[in-house]
Amino acid sequence: MSVTEEIKARIDAVDIISQTVKLRRSGRTYTGLCPFHAHKNFTPSFVVWADTGTWRCFGQCNEGGDIFKFVMKRDGLDFSGALQQLAVLAGVELKPRTRDQVEQDDNLSRQRDVLQSAAVYYNHLLLNAGQAEHARQHLAGRGLGGTAVEMFELGYSLDSWDAGLKYLQSKGYTLDDLRGAGLIIEKEGGKLFDRFRDRLMIPVRDELGRMTGFQARALKPDALPKFMNSPTTALFDKGRTVFGLHLARKPMRELNEAIVVEGNLDVIAAHQAGFSNVVSSQGTALTEHQLRLIKKHAKRILLALDADEAGDKATLRGLSVAREALEREGEVGFDPHGLIKQEARLGVDIRVMTLPDGEDPDDVINRDPDEWRKRAAEAEPVVAYVMRVISRDKDLEDAKVKVEVANAVIPYIEDVSDAIERDAYRQKLARLLKVDVGVLAKRQASGVRRPEPVRRPEATTPSQPAADVRRPTSRKAEATSLETHVLGAIVREPDNLYKIDRALKDLGLGKLSNDDFAATDLQLVFDQLAGAQAQVEVEPVAYLRTHLAEPLQPVLEALTRAPVEIAGARAGKAEEALLNATLRLRRQALNVRCNEARFLLEAAREEGDAVLAERYTQEVVERTGELARVDRALAPGALNRARLGVTPGPRRV
């Protein structure tokens, strides 16, 4: 992940922009007055899309971009200044990229390719192999059908020592590739075999939808471990991954609520049933990093916990667990203290959603979806949940029991940062125990020893979530691929820009511009190409290296290494392929603008705002017309009318 990608993944664009613009939530968008021009009628024309982290002014400016573009315009900074400012906010350390880091990025890209190929292979086996029948039956027994398999690209690994090894080698991957991706195990003496054998394969992806590893569930009752994860690698880290987040981000935004469950199959069942705001913490403690990822998309987080068999010790079991080691079966304990502190520090509303005795989330969802909705609506704040569980089945008329419950609950109330909220819980506890609230306040002020989190042995390793397999070919991933392909071809051979512009003119379209690229860093590289072509003293790439800001140098290096060919291009048709990719790039940029305007038009009509409705109608008409022209250019035979004559050219690096 590049520095800019990491910053975008960590920072909520709404949080940054709302420091300058008073935003009002409207569905999945936020609207306000544009800060970059004067207003006569104070009609909000500035829109922020929280799920993509982008903004646009539909008024006088007619500009838009990501958080880098916003900070640059707001503070009058260049890209370097905006990068430094946002890096501090995101907690990302900026360091010059070394040769080793460039090599590491290439290795990570290779590992993702290996994992993607493995995911497609396992999915094919699940759908077609006779040996996978028991895997298909297992899924059917859990109520998971074709929708779940397709949505998450579930797979099956053969009951063979080296079937996967041989298949991936046949695809050109080396043993080092397979070792790095965690797909094979090497024993002493050099014997190699598949890590995953006779297991249900669940691909795991990061927030951007990129492959990071697998979680594999045993299908035989006596097979151990029940759940086997990819080893910790440069890509796979359970504590930094929220399973299903790449699919759940938009629903979480729309509902402003995320539900965190324990198991990967629970997440899959929830999504299959239409509850798409459900994610999992990968079976580990719910880390601050995971909470930050979730908080970017939802300010209310519900933890779906198994029902407790409380007993005298009031065991509190849940997702925020203390685990002795990542891969060891250990004790599991719910730690409300940590959650309460995270809640205050991160500014989120964390609640506990309890389930019926002996039932998992998928049991409830499959049996009664309405009950799932009801339990989500009745989720309790952490302190209220702790208070209820600790006092359950206790004789609250007994004075000594009152003391015991008060001593157990007061430390949790102390952890709450807001004074009003603390007082409300204190009053709730006083009513529960039928004592004077002033007595509790004095006891709290005098200090009560905080009890250690109660733990109980768990025999099974919590299940670990999965992720969607073909989603690297999601819209976001495809958009990035097109951008880097087209801009990479121009950077390596700047004359291609003249040829592309000439061909676009022949097709009745406007020149390629930075509006065709979504990311600010790519826009800035594109803008610098004009200067590179205007001078004749040095090679354009060399000019870019001396004139681009230092933080943009890694972007330039990545573009010089971008693939010459792109998916969907016809072999041996370099000229046609590049123009086709350019038209698709233009089309996706226009599609985004058109869809945004349509959404805003609907909202304006619902609110009865005729001024905004007229503005967005005009935007839709203009973009629809441009889209129609691009579609005509992409029609079979149309490209033959364009005089392009482009060749990928040598990589002049």
> Is 648 domain-assigned?
no
Question: Which CATH number fits the domain that encloses residue 24?
Answer: 3.90.580.10
How many CB atoms lie under 10 A from the CB of residue 358? Answer: 9
- Using alpha carbons, list the distances in angstroms from residue 489 to 139, 486, 570, 575: 45, 5, 16, 11
Question: Which CATH number fits the domain that encloses residue 443?
Answer: 3.40.1360.10
Q: Are residues 619 and 542 in the same domain?
A: yes
Over residues 31-59, the pLDDT tens digits come to 899 998 887 777 788 999 887 889 988 88
Q: Are residues 231 and 270 in the same domain?
A: no
> Is 652 domain-assigned?
no
> Which residue, 202, 236, 270, sits at the end of a domain?
236
Asked if pLDDT for residue 567 goes beyond 60, the answer is no
> Is 497 domain-assigned?
yes
Domain that holds residue 416: 245-457
Identify which of 277-281, 517-521, 599-603 has the greatest average pLDDT.
277-281
Q: What is the pLDDT of residue 637?
A: 67
pLDDT tier at 600, thresholds 50, 70, 90: confident
pLDDT tier at 370, thresholds 50, 70, 90: very high
* Beta partners for residue 216, in sequence order: 201, 228
pLDDT tier at 646, thresholds 50, 70, 90: very low
Identify which of 122-136, 225-239, 592-606 has the greatest average pLDDT.
122-136
**pTM above the 0.85 mark?**
no
Q: CA 448, 451, 452 angle in degrees (round to 5)?
A: 150
Q: How many domains does the chain have?
A: 4
Q: Are residues 230 and 378 in the same domain?
A: no
Q: Where are the beta strands (DSSP E) in 435-589?
A: 456-457
Asked if pLDDT for residue 556 goes beyond 70, the answer is yes
Q: Are residues 155 and 286 in the same domain?
A: no
> Is 468 domain-assigned?
no
Q: Are residues 327 and 346 in the same domain?
A: yes
How many percent of the chain have pLDDT more than 70? 83
> Is 129 domain-assigned?
yes
Asked if pLDDT for residue 450 goes beyond 80, the answer is no
How many percent of the chain have pLDDT more than 90? 30
How many CB atoms lie under 10 A from the CB of residue 140? Answer: 10
Q: Cα–Cα distance between 642 and 631 in angstroms, integer? A: 15
627-652: burial string, b at 16+ Cβ within 10 Å, e else: bebbeebbeeeebeebebebebeeee
Mean pLDDT for 617-639 is: 84
Q: Are residues 397 and 320 in the same domain?
A: yes
Q: Are residues 217 and 258 in the same domain?
A: no
Q: Cα–Cα distance between 265 and 22 in angstroms, integer? A: 41
Asked if pLDDT for residue 177 goes beyond 90, the answer is yes
> Is 430 domain-assigned?
yes
Q: Cα–Cα distance between 476 and 247 in angstroms, integer? A: 12
Q: Cα–Cα distance between 600 and 593 in angstroms, integer? A: 11
Question: Which CATH number fits the domain that encloses residue 119?
Answer: 3.90.980.10
Q: Are residues 253 and 149 in the same domain?
A: no
> Which residue, 61, 90, 119, sits at the end of a domain?
90
Burial class of residue 18 in the structure, from the number of CB atoms within 10 Å of its CB (0-12 exposed, 13-18 middle, 19+ buried): middle
Q: Are residues 426 and 479 in the same domain?
A: no
Q: Are residues 154 and 174 in the same domain?
A: yes
Q: Mention every residue, 6+ apart, whose C-beta is less than 8 A from residue 349.
A: 299, 300, 301, 343, 381
pLDDT tier at 536, thresholds 50, 70, 90: low
Of residues 128 and 304, more confidence is placed in: 128
Asked if pLDDT for residue 137 goes beyond 90, the answer is yes
pLDDT tier at 285, thresholds 50, 70, 90: low
Q: Are residues 232 and 255 in the same domain?
A: no
> Is 33 domain-assigned?
yes
Q: Are residues 601 and 574 in the same domain?
A: yes
Q: 147-161, 372-386, 430-444: which range is least confident on average? A: 430-444
Burial class of residue 83 in the structure, from the number of CB atoms within 10 Å of its CB (0-12 exposed, 13-18 middle, 19+ buried): buried
> Which residue, 422, 457, 492, sits at the end of a domain?
457
Over residues 489-505, the pLDDT tens digits come to 888 888 888 888 888 98
Question: Which CATH number fits the domain that encloses residue 613?
Answer: 1.10.860.10
Over residues 6-33, the pLDDT tens digits come to 888 888 899 899 989 999 887 778 889 9
pLDDT tier at 642, thresholds 50, 70, 90: low
> Is 626 domain-assigned?
yes
